Structure 1
Amino acid sequence: MAFLTKEQLAALQIERMIFHVVGPDKDKFLLLEEIALGPHAEFFLDRVRSTNTGILFDFTPASSLLGALQEIQADLHRFSQKSKDLAQLFQIGHGGSTSHGVFMLFVLKHGEERLFALLKYDHETVLSYAIESTKLGQQAQIAALQDTFVKSPEALQKSAIVRLAANGGELCVRDRSAPAKVTQYFQQFLGASRRFETSQLTLKLVAIAKKVAKKNENLLSPAVLKNLNQRIYESIQTITAYGPDSHDLFLASIFGPLTDDSKVRIDFEHELRHERIEGETFDFDKQSVPRPTKKQIVTQEGIQIIWDREYDAYVKREDIAGGRTRITIESGGVKIEDDFTEPNSR
């Protein structure tokens, strides 16, 4: 399931909010006081909601962020001071590599559950204009505005939604500068480790693809089912990374084009949610899915042929009249020719 459900996202409210100015210029580092957002709350809630499709992390016991949020959870009066402590840690940890912007901390609620969110929002220069009457007619006067909040996804550089628990807590994290990994210095600031390694995620995706194919055998074409393992292997080897943006590419490479209401697609997305990896973005660990060492042919009559890939050249197929297939095996001789006993036969 997702970090937050659609219903929880819709019910999300900002209980407390504060931001501090950060950036490469230490002289411009500025700690501010808490503000009330009033009618602008929805703007920032939308930025927080966009993080819900991020990567899952878990706090490490020594996390400074975890300790600060636990103190705020215990006493909301500590919110402002703890946010300043975290902003200083963020500034020190990122140093000259961070761009000019703000570090934001939110206390959120939906129903009875309290959550936290952190955003690193970059300032972008925006041009504004005002219409003035002149001797020549109506003219636009253009001015540059800086230190602005804009809706552009590029402005939201780093973000995390945090849920505390008795044993620490979990985070849903997005990092625009390293979507598939999360930059090392942001991960260090969070004091958290990724829940799933890329090898685990790759193998989970392979298992889901096979499970969905088996479940929908009656809907898939013979061409897909005939070489499913090969299709999966080649997809992993040729596609660099997987994530919500490359979801359709991965599905099409295995199952062919699918409609939005395809049962194959619906089942695949259901399995992703069940494994809690629907928001994960990661580079495929190609080594975890090696090329199969054996190949098989199963005929319509149930005749099964299995061989090592090194002998591919010795197994040949040709189409013959009546839509039938002739399979020829070239060998140095027959080693066994006997009745075959099924493993579970009595």
Structure 2
Amino acid sequence: MPFLSDAERDDLRIDRMVFHVVGPDLTDPVLLAEFDPPIFTEFFLGRIKSAMGGNAYKFRPESPTMATLREIGADQTQFVRGSETLAASFQHEHRQNSIDGVFFLFLLSTVEDRRMFALVKYDTDQVLKYEIADAEGRRRAILEEFRQTFSTKRESLQKIALVRLGAEDGEMMVRDRSRPEGISEYFGKFLRVKRAATPAEFTKKTERLLKEVMKQHRDDLDPEIRKGGARRINEQLRTTREFGPETQLQLFDAVFGVLPDNSPVRRTYLRKLATAKLDEETFQVDPTAIPRTPRRRIETVEGIQILFDEEDRGRIEKRELPTGDTEILITTAQVTVDDDDALDRSGGT
């Protein structure tokens, strides 16, 4: 299932929020008071939800960030102190690489009072505000500069980790603008996390999923698509450099053909992606994890060889004749190479 179900997304609430100022010119973050009660919650919930399509990670056991979040979870009086600890750690790890912004800590809740945290680095934008005024009989624009502002632009949300703590570990969705396919080194160092799976494991998982869809919908597919299905899946997946929300439907079209949005094949594919938690994941496809379709061989005493893929075994039929000979029948959609045709065209005998 996705990191958040539809019901959890719809019911997501901000219970507490605070931010501290971070940036390259600061030795320590500028610590600020908590917003009590939280303000502009719909604005910030919109930003958090817009970043849901991230990558799955898990805390390493020694993660200080996880330890701090656990302290807050066990005793909410530690919320502000914990946020200051996290902001100081974030500032320390990012001081040489960051730009001016703020570090947010949100305490969230959703259905059945399930608790989560959102850790957010928000870049502050430079914007110009204008007003129109009448002066000397003419309308003039008056410009005013604002530097410390938050924008609805998705790119302003530099980094976000949405965290759900378990009894012993913690899982999260991470979106890092500087590394869409993963996480930047310094953000990873701050969080102390590991990817939920390796690229090879994600690749293998996707391959199995595609083959399940192919098997389930064989009767719904064009015969040309159905023919050599496993080989087709492996070849198309092998040529896909990066799998993610931007490419998952392109891969579907390459494997199954362009089908309408309401196609049962497409619906099954999208449902299985969500169940496997691959619908929001971005990873580099590992070609070494994709098996080569095994080749089979039949050879006769006359030296005749027949080579075919395992998945085409059903096209080869062998029958024992009363004479003791073996008849081999090959069923094919089309013969593409025949040396006799070439000899006929060249006048050979």
Residue 199 of structure 2: aligned partner: 198
1:209-288 equivalences in 2 (<5 Å): 209-288=210-289
Taking only aligned residues, the RMSD between alpha carbons, in angstroms, comes to 2.6
- In structure 2, what residue type is equivalent to 1:158? K
Aligned length: 316
* Bigger shift: residues 254-263 or 155-164: 254-263
Residue 9 of structure 2: aligned partner: 9
1:70-85 equivalences in 2 (<5 Å): 70-85=70-85
- In structure 2, what residue type is equivalent to 1:187? G
Given the alignment of the two structures, is residue 99 of structure 1 paired with residue 112 of structure 2, yes or no?
no
**Are the aligned partners of 1:220 and 1:255 in contact in 2 as well (CA < 8 Å)?**
yes
Identity, % of aligned pairs? 35
- In structure 1, what residue type is equivalent to 2:238? Q
Gaps of 5+ in 1: 306-316, 331-346
Residue 303 of structure 1: aligned partner: 316
Mapped to 2, the partners of 1:82 and 1:214 lie a distance apart of 51
Q: Aligned to 1:147, what secondary structure does the other structure show?
A: strand
**Compared with structure 1, are the counterparts of its residues 285 and 298 closer, same or farther at alpha carbon in structure 2 (3 Å cutoff)?**
closer
Mapped to 2, the partners of 1:191 and 1:126 lie a distance apart of 35
Q: Aligned to 1:235, what secondary structure does the other structure show?
A: helix
Mapped to 2, the partners of 1:6 and 1:218 lie a distance apart of 32
Given the alignment of the two structures, is residue 86 of structure 1 paired with residue 62 of structure 2, yes or no?
no
Structure 2 length normalisation: TM-score?
0.84
Mapped to 2, the partners of 1:253 and 1:261 lie a distance apart of 17
- In structure 2, what residue type is equivalent to 1:269? L
Residue 67 of structure 2: aligned partner: 67
**Compared with structure 1, are the counterparts of its residues 217 and 102 closer, same or farther at alpha carbon in structure 2 (3 Å cutoff)?**
same
Deviations 1:115-152 (A, max 9, x none): 11111111121222111112252222222221111010
Mapped to 2, the partners of 1:37 and 1:45 lie a distance apart of 15
**Are the aligned partners of 1:198 and 1:282 in contact in 2 as well (CA < 8 Å)?**
yes
Structure 1 length normalisation: TM-score?
0.84
Mapped to 2, the partners of 1:136 and 1:238 lie a distance apart of 66
* Bigger shift: residues 290-299 or 147-156: 290-299
- Residue 245 of structure 1 and its aligned partner are, at CA, apart by 1.6
Residue 343 of structure 1: aligned partner: none
* Bigger shift: residues 177-186 or 225-234: 225-234
Deviations 1:166-210 (A, max 9, x none): 112111111111111211211121121111111011111111111
- Residue 324 of structure 1 and its aligned partner are, at CA, apart by 6.7
**Compared with structure 1, are the counterparts of its residues 50 and 303 closer, same or farther at alpha carbon in structure 2 (3 Å cutoff)?**
same
* Bigger shift: residues 44-53 or 76-85: 44-53
* Bigger shift: residues 51-60 or 200-209: 51-60
**Compared with structure 1, are the counterparts of its residues 236 and 304 closer, same or farther at alpha carbon in structure 2 (3 Å cutoff)?**
farther
**Compared with structure 1, are the counterparts of its residues 87 and 38 closer, same or farther at alpha carbon in structure 2 (3 Å cutoff)?**
closer
**Are the aligned partners of 1:2 and 1:52 in contact in 2 as well (CA < 8 Å)?**
no
- Residue 215 of structure 1 and its aligned partner are, at CA, apart by 0.6
Gaps of 5+ in 2: 296-307, 319-329, 341-349
- Residue 258 of structure 1 and its aligned partner are, at CA, apart by 2.3
* Bigger shift: residues 139-148 or 66-75: 139-148
Mapped to 2, the partners of 1:326 and 1:67 lie a distance apart of 64
Given the alignment of the two structures, is residue 18 of structure 1 paired with residue 18 of structure 2, yes or no?
yes
Deviations 1:314-336 (A, max 9, x none): xxx999xxx87598699xxxxxx
Mapped to 2, the partners of 1:285 and 1:298 lie a distance apart of 23
4+ residue runs over 3 A deviation: 36-39, 290-293, 297-302, 323-330
Deviations 1:67-103 (A, max 9, x none): 1011111111111111011001001111211121111
1:323-338 equivalences in 2 (<5 Å): 325=335
**Compared with structure 1, are the counterparts of its residues 232 and 37 closer, same or farther at alpha carbon in structure 2 (3 Å cutoff)?**
farther
Which protein shows a greater Rg? 2
* Bigger shift: residues 110-119 or 21-30: 21-30
**Compared with structure 1, are the counterparts of its residues 234 and 28 closer, same or farther at alpha carbon in structure 2 (3 Å cutoff)?**
same
- Residue 293 of structure 1 and its aligned partner are, at CA, apart by 4.7
Residue 43 of structure 1: aligned partner: 43
Residue 308 of structure 1: aligned partner: none
Q: Aligned to 1:52, what secondary structure does the other structure show?
A: coil
Mapped to 2, the partners of 1:12 and 1:209 lie a distance apart of 33
Mapped to 1, the partners of 2:57 and 2:317 lie a distance apart of 45
* Bigger shift: residues 96-105 or 272-281: 272-281
